[in-house]
Amino acid sequence: MIGASGCAILIGALAGCGAPAPTLSSGEAIDEYAPLLDEVESVLDEAYPEISWTRDGEQRVQGGGDGEPCVVVFPTLESPTSLWGAAGGWDAVAEVLDPVLSERGFPPLAEDELQGGWTGVSAVGDDGADIRMWDKSSTTIALRVDVTDEGCAAP
The pLDDT tens digits for 105-139 are 999 999 999 999 999 999 999 888 999 999 999 99
The residue among 151, 52, 44, 59 whose CA lies nearest residue 98 is 44
Percent of the chain clearing pLDDT 70 (strictly above): 86
Residue 85 CB neighbours (<10 A): 14
Domain ranges in the chain are 4-11+22-147
The 3-state DSSP class for residue 73 equals strand
Span 35-45, average pLDDT? 96
Fold of 4-11+22-147: TBP-like (3.30.2030)
Residue 4 has pLDDT above 70, yes or no: no
Query: Can you point out the beta strands (E) in 19-118?
Result: 54-56, 60-62, 70-73, 76-79, 110-112
Cα separation, 84 vs 94, whole angstroms: 10
84, pLDDT greater than 70 = yes
From CA 145, how far away is CA 3, in angstroms rounded?
A: 21
Strand partners, 131: 123, 143
Q: Is pLDDT at 10 greater than 50 in this prediction?
A: no
